[in-house]
Amino acid sequence: MAGEALIELRGVNKHYGKLHVLQDIDLTVDRGEVVVVIGPSGGGKSTLCRAINRLETIESGTIELDGRPLPEEGRALAQLRAEVGMVFQSFNLFAHKTVLDNIMLAPVKVRKQRKDEAARRARELLDRVGLVSQADKYPAQLSGGQQQRVAIARALAMDPKALLFDEPTSALDPEMINEVLEVMRQLAREGMTMVVVTHEMGFARSAANRVVFMADGRIVEDRTPEEFFTAPRSERAKDFLSKIL
Ligand code: ADP
Ligand code: MG
């Protein structure tokens, strides 16, 4: 349902040594919303994603998923990681497992799904990302764009409440970027809640409900794509846009 907070960060702070990498971050992502996070390298975008999935701890503030604080450890943490899927720049597929096995692994291990049921569902998901014919191949036999689509299918296999994407197309050859963005656009249309760190401004303009501009550990702007791209307020964002557009 729109208008209902699914991910909520309040007053979140984190340092790496002296570096204040997340500074008083307030961010709400509603159910079904697509939030694109952009900004210069080193601004804290990856750390933000990792904090939401609790791959990083925070020092102060709160992060809630669906109205509940992120769990600290144990089974509840594994459950959280399943509920908030993450897709990385580097695909992170298991090289020694087939495409189908990559997708089945977490449902069988974490969810205790039956193998035949998990395999059926994995084929369904592969069909959704246009790769059902590649089920028995190994990741190295696929192109980068295909591997990233498998990584998305793998995240979807856990029926996540939200998906985080950290520069999902940055490692891809240009001709493969669109096939991955198209899968992401399709997910957005289907109502998936998504936080997407990307430099693909076309995707931000066409698919985002909001653009969050992050620099030096702060959220500098948080506005609609129309507002952000036509009239950025901060010098930081103007400077960033003038370099990439
Ligand atoms: P972005 O994704 O926007 O490029 P990151 O979140 O990766 O930014 O990094 C923000 C800053 O934190 C950078 O200066 C980076 O060097 C630093 N940083 C990231 N991870 C670590 C770490 N594990 N230890 C120390 N410094 C880190
Ligand atoms: Mg990053």
- Other Cβ atoms within 10 Å of 50 Cβ, number: 17
Distance 112 CA to ligand 2 centre (A): 33
Which residue minimizes the CA distance to atom 17 of ligand 1?
42
pLDDT at 245 over 80: no
Give the sign of the dihedral formed by CA 107, CA 109, CA 110, CA 112: positive
Mean pLDDT calculated for residue range 24-41: 98
pLDDT at 10 over 70: yes
Distance 74 CA to ligand 2 centre (A): 27
Residue 77: per-residue pLDDT: 83
Distance 45 CA to ligand 2 centre (A): 5
Q: What percent of the chain has pLDDT over 90?
A: 89
Type of residue at 45? K
Q: What is the pLDDT of residues 97-108, one digit of tens each?
A: 999 999 999 999
Distance 196 CA to ligand 2 centre (A): 11
Q: Name the band, by pLDDT with cuts 50, 70 and 90, for residue 2.
A: low
Q: What is the pLDDT of residues 156-214, one digit of tens each?
A: 999 999 999 999 999 999 999 999 999 999 999 999 999 999 999 999 999 999 999 99
Dist. CA 48–CA 30, nearest whole Å:
17
Cα within 13 Å of Cα(175), Cβ side: 1
Which residue minimizes the CA distance to atom 21 of ligand 1?
16
Q: Write out the DSSP string of 34-86.
A: EEEEE--TTSSHHHHHHHHTTSS--SEEEEEETTEEPP-SHHHHHHHHHHEEE
Dist. CA 136–CA 188, nearest whole Å:
28
Q: What is the pLDDT of residues 40-96, one digit of tens each?
A: 999 999 999 999 999 999 999 999 999 989 887 777 887 788 889 999 999 899 999
Residue ranges of E strands in the chain: 5-16, 19-30, 34-38, 60-65, 68-69, 84-87, 162-166, 193-197, 210-215, 218-223
pLDDT at 19 over 90: yes
Task: Name, in order, each residue with C-beta under 8 angstroms of 114's C-beta and a sequence gap of 6 or more.
Answer: 108
Query: Which ligand 1 atom is the nearest neighbour of the CA of 214?
Result: 3
Residue 74: per-residue pLDDT: 79
Mean pLDDT calculated for residue range 226-232: 95
